[in-house]
C-alpha cells in the first residue's frame, strides 16, 4: 500500500496493491501486448535489403519517445488531470470542453469532435481483440509449426471465451486478470533485460538523435514506418477511458513504476537480439525465449492478449452508457456488476456487437500482419480528437491562457497528426476498416439524435401547454379517482400525450398526479441533494425533475421514494405509471432522408423499453399509443 499526494498539496487515500493489480488486468492489457507485433511491424519496412544497426536504433528511439510523449506526458501527466468528477473518456472530456464556451456553434463543433472520437474508440475496441489474440496465437508457428492451420480456429475460440465472461464485471475480471498481467510484464522486462546485457550498446537508442538521424536518412520511408511505430502506443486512450473504473492514482503509479520500464526493456531487448542475430527479425518477440520456453510463452501471451482486449471492452461499455445518457444512442440494458463502484457495468448489446465484429475481422484478415494495417487509424484519430478537446478543457478547468493551451496541446496535436497521416497510407491495405466502422456509428448516432429532436419538436407542436391545462382543470369537472398517477414526459412545460389520451378514453384523473421529467446533465454523477426538484402546480398535482449524470443509470421508483422527505404523500403501492408508446409514421413532408428514417426506426424498434431502462415495475405500467409523424 502506498500514499499518493494530491495535486492540491493534500494527501489522497492510499493506493492498495489490489487496485494496482486490477489496473494491470483491465487498463494496461492493450499497450502491454504491443511488443508482440509493434517492433517487428516497424522493421518490416526495411527488410528487403537487410536491416542496418542505425535503422534498429532509429526505430527503438521512435518507439521510446512515442511512449514518453504520447502516453506519459500527454495522457498520464496531463489529460488524466481533466477528469469530469472522477470520470474519463472522450465524452467526459467533451462535456468539460463544452463548458469552456457559451457559443452555440462552438459547442456543436465540440460535440461532433467528441462523437467522432467515440466512434473511432468503438472501432479500436473491435480491432484490438482481433489483432492482439491473433498475434499471440501465431506464436505457435514458431514453437509448433505443425499447428499453423489451427491458428484462426484457436483465436476464435479464445475470443468467444473472452466475451462469454464479460457479464461477471470488470472488478471480478480484473482480480483474475491482474496477477496474470503482473507475471506478463515481469516476463517482458526479464526477457528484454537478458538480451540487453548481451548487447548493451542498444541503450544508445534512448538518445533522440538516433530518431532524427533515422528520419533524415530515410525521409519518406521513415514517415511510412511511423504508421507501424504508433502500434507501440495503442491502448493509451484506454488509460483515460477506464479512469472511472479505478481512479487516476493507481493507473499513474502502475505506469510510471512498472509498466513503462518493462515495455522499454522488452523493446530494447528485441533490438539487441536482432543486432546479435539478424535472422531473429522473423519474430523477435518469441525468438527471445529459449526453445523449451516458447510454448509456455505462447500460452502466457495468449492469456495476456485476451486481457489486452479487456481495456477496450470495458471502455466501450462506459462510452456506450455516456452516449445513451447524452441521447446519441437508443436505450440499452445496463447491468451494474458492483455494489460499490458505479462505473463497473456490463452492456450485453454492446458486448454482442463487439464479439461479432471481432470474429468477422479474424475470419476476414486471418493474420495479425494484415490486421495491423487497420489498427492505427482508429487510435491516432482518437488521439487528435482528445487533443483538441483537452485544449478547451484545460483553459476552463485550470485557467490556462490561450497561448499556453495552444503551445502545449498544439505540440501534441502535431505529433498525433503526423502519426495519423502516416496511417492514412494504409487505407487500401485495411485502414478502411476503422473508417467504415466510424462512419457507420456516426450515421447511427446522428440519426438517433436528429430523430429524437424531431420527435420532441413534434410533441411540443401537438401538445397542450401545461399552464393552459391547469387553468382550465377546475372548470372541467373532471372526475378525480383515488390513487397516484405518474406521467413520464420529456417536455415538462407541456401536458404529456399519455394524460390527454387517458382523459379522452377513461374520462378520469387521479387525485394525485406527478409529471416526471428525467434530465441528463453534462457531469458524471449528480449529488443526492440536487437529484430531485419538486414543484406543486395545483392541488394534488406536482412536477418532478429528476437529474442524472451521464455515468448514472436512472431508477425512477427509487428516486420517487425520496418525495416523502419533500412533503409529497407518496405511497409506492398506490402508484400507476402512464407511458406513451410512440407509433412513428412518415410525415407528408418528411424532415429526415429515407435512409436516416429507416435507421432511426430500426433503432426505435430495438431500443430497451422505458419500463426496463427506468426500472419501473411492469405490473404498474399503463401504456397508451401515441402517433408521431416525422
- Phi, psi (degrees; rounded to nearest 5) at 422: -65, -35
- The strands making up 621-629's β-sheet, listed across from edge to edge, are 532-538, 541-548, 508-520, 479-488, 575-585, 621-629
Give the other-Cβ count within 10 Å of 630's Cβ. Answer: 21
* pLDDT tens-digit series, residues 45-100: 776 667 888 899 999 999 999 999 999 999 999 998 887 777 777 888 888 888 87
If pLDDT is split at 50, 70 and 90, which confidence band does 14 have?
A: low
Least trusted range by pLDDT, from 140-144, 422-426, 485-489, 563-567 = 140-144
Segment 543-601, tens digit of pLDDT = 999 998 877 778 899 999 888 888 888 888 889 998 877 777 777 767 788 888 889 88
- Return the pLDDT at 169: 66
Q: Which residues contact 120 (CB under 8 A, 6 or more apart)?
A: 377, 378, 379, 381, 382, 385, 434, 438
pLDDT tens for each residue of 310-327? 767 777 887 888 788 788
Tell me the average pLDDT across 133-146. Answer: 77
3-state secondary structure of 397: helix
Q: Which residues make beta-bridge pairs with 484? A: 512, 575
- For the chain, give the percent of residues with pLDDT over 70: 93
Instruction: Read off the C-alpha cell for 326.
Output: 447524452
pLDDT of res. 2: 42
Residues 264-287: tens digit of each pLDDT? 999 999 999 999 898 888 889 988
Average pLDDT of the chain, as a whole number = 84
Give the pairing type, strands 508-520 and 479-488: parallel
* pLDDT tens readout for residues 334-346: 877 665 555 567 8
Among 186, 260, 181, 254, CA closest to 15: 254
Cell triple for 320: 456506450
pLDDT digits (tens, 9 = 90+) for 153-201: 988 898 888 888 887 765 566 567 778 889 999 999 999 999 999 999 9
Residue 172 has a pLDDT of 61
- Residue 578 DSSP SS3: strand
**Mean pLDDT along residues 490-515:** 85
Measured CA distances, 247 to 12, 172, 181, 344, 625 (Å): 11, 17, 19, 12, 45
- Digit-coded pLDDT (tens) for 525-546: 788 888 999 998 888 899 999 9
The pLDDT tens digits for 196-216 are 999 999 999 999 999 999 999
- DSSP string over 184-249: HHHHHHHHHHHHHHHSGGGGGGGSTHHHHHHHHHHTHHHHHHHHHHGGGGTTHHHHHHTHHHH-HH
Q: Is 622 helix (H, G, I), strand (E, B) or coil?
A: strand
Hey, which CATH number is domain 18-445, 3.40.50.2020, 1.10.10.10, 1.20.1740.10, 1.25.40.20? 1.20.1740.10
**What are the extents of the domains in the chain?**
18-445, 463-629
pLDDT at 151: 84
CA distance 294 to 318: 37
Identify the pLDDT of residue 341: 54
Q: How many CB atoms lie within 10 A of CB 1?
A: 10
What are the cell numbers at 534? 419538486
Decide: residue 132, CB within 10 A, 0-12 exposed, 13-18 middle, 19+ buried: buried
Please tell me the predicted confidence (pLDDT) of residue 3. Answer: 41
Q: Are the CB atoms for 352 and 318 separated by under 8 Å?
A: no
What pLDDT score was predicted for residue 416? 93
Mean pLDDT throughout 220-233?
Answer: 89
Which pLDDT does position 173 carry in this prediction?
62
Task: Please check the confidence at residue 12 and state whether its pLDDT lies above 60.
Answer: no
pLDDT of residue 593: 86
pLDDT (0 to 100) of residue 171: 59
The confidence score (pLDDT) of residue 269 equals: 95
Strands (E), 498-549: 508-520, 532-538, 541-548
End-to-end CA distance of the chain: 58
% of the chain beyond a pLDDT of 90: 24
- Looking at residue 212, its pLDDT comes to 92
| pLDDT(476) > 80 | no
Amino acid at each position: 500500500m502506498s500514499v499518493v499526494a494530491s495535486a492540491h498539496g493534500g494527501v489522497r487515500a492510499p493506493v492498495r496493491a489490489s487496485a494496482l493489480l486490477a489496473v494491470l488486468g483491465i487498463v494496461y492489457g492493450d499497450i502491454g501486448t504491443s511488443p508482440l507485433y509493434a517492433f517487428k511491424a516497424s522493421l518490416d519496412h526495411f527488410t528487403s535489403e537487410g536491416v542496418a544497426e542505425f535503422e534498429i536504433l532509429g526505430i527503438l528511439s521512435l518507439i521510446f519517445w512515442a511512449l514518453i510523449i504520447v502516453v506519459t506526458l500527454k495522457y498520464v501527466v496531463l489529460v488524466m488531470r481533466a477528469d469530469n468528477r472522477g470520470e474519463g473518456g472522450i465524452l467526459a472530456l467533451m462535456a468539460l470542453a463544452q463548458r469552456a464556451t457559451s457559443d452555440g456553434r462552438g459547442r456543436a463543433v465540440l460535440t461532433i469532435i467528441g462523437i467522432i472520437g467515440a466512434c473511432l474508440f468503438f472501432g479500436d475496441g473491435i480491432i484490438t481483440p482481433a489483432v492482439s489474440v491473433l498475434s499471440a496465437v501465431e506464436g505457435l508457428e514458431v514453437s509448433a509449426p505443425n499447428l499453423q492451420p489451427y491458428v484462426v480456429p484457436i483465436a476464435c475460440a479464445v475470443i468467444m471465451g473472452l466475451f462469454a465472461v464479460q457479464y461477471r464485471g470488470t472488478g471480478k475480471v480484473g482480480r483474475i486478470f491482474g496477477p496474470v498481467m503482473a507475471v506478463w510484464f515481469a516476463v517482458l522486462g526479464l526477457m528484454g533485460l537478458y538480451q540487453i546485457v548481451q548487447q548493451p550498446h542498444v541503450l544508445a537508442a534512448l538518445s533522440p538523435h538516433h530518431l532524427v538521424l533515422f528520419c533524415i536518412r530515410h525521409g519518406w520511408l521513415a514517415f511510412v514506418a511511423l504508421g507501424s511505430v504508433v502500434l507501440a502506443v495503442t491502448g493509451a486512450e484506454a488509460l483515460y477511458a477506464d479512469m472511472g473504473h479505478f481512479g487516476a492514482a493507481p493507473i499513474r503509479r502502475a505506469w510510471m513504476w512498472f509498466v513503462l520500464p518493462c515495455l522499454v526493456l522488452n523493446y530494447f531487448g528485441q533490438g539487441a537480439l536482432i543486432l546479435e542475430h539478424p535472422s531473429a527479425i522473423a519474430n523477435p518477440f518469441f525468438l527471445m525465449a529459449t526453445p523449451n520456453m516458447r510454448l509456455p510463452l505462447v500460452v502466457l501471451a495468449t492469456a495476456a492478449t485476451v486481457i489486452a482486449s479487456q481495456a477496450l471492452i470495458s471502455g466501450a461499455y462506459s462510452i456506450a452508457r455516456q452516449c445513451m445518457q447524452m441521447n446519441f444512442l437508443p436505450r440499452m440494458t445496463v447491468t451494474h456488476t458492483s455494489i460499490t463502484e458505479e462505473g463497473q457495468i456490463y452492456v450485453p448489446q454492446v458486448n454482442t456487437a463487439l464479439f461479432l465484429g471481432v470474429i468477422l475481422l479474424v475470419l476476414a484478415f486471418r493474420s495479425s500482419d494484415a490486421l495491423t494495417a487497420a489498427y492505427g487509424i482508429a487510435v491516432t484519430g482518437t488521439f487528435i480528437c482528445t487533443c483538441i478537446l483537452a485544449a478547451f478543457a484545460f483553459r476552463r478547468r485550470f485557467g490556462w491562457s490561450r497561448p499556453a493551451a495552444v503551445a502545449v496541446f498544439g505540440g501534441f496535436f502535431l505529433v498525433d497528426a503526423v502519426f495519423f497521416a502516416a496511417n492514412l497510407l494504409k487505407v487500401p491495405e485495411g485502414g478502411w476498416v476503422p473508417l467504415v466502422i466510424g462512419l457507420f456509428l456516426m450515421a447511427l448516432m446522428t440519426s438517433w439524435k436528429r430523430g429524437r429532436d424531431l420527435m420532441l419538436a413534434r410533441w411540443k407542436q401537438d401538445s397542450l401547454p401545461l399552464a393552459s391545462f391547469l387553468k382550465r382543470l377546475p372548470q372541467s369537472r373532471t372526475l378525480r379517482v383515488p390513487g397516484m398517477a405518474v406521467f413520464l414526459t420529456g417536455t415538462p412545460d407541456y401536458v404529456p400525450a399519455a394524460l390527454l389520451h387517458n382523459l379522452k378514453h377513461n374520462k378520469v384523473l387521479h387525485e394525485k398526479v406527478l409529471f416526471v421529467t428525467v434530465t441528463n446533465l453534462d457531469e458524471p454523477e449528480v449529488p443526492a441533494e440536487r437529484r430531485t426538484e419538486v414543484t406543486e402546480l395545483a392541488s394534488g398535482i406536482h412536477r418532478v425533475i429528476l437529474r442524472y449524470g451521464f455515468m448514472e443509470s436512472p431508477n425512477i421508483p427509487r428516486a420517487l421514494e425520496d418525495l416523502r422527505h419533500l412533503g409529497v404523500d407518496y405511497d409506492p403501492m398506490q402508484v400507476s405509471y402512464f407511458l406513451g408508446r410512440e407509433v412513428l409514421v412518415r410525415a407528408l413532408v418528411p424532415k429526415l432522408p429515407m435512409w436516416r428514417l429507416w435507421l432511426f426506426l430500426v433503432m426505435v424498434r430495438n431500443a430497451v423499453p422505458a419500463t426496463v431502462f427506468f426500472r419501473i415495475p411492469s405490473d404498474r405500467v399503463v401504456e397508451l399509443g401515441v402517433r408521431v409523424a416525422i
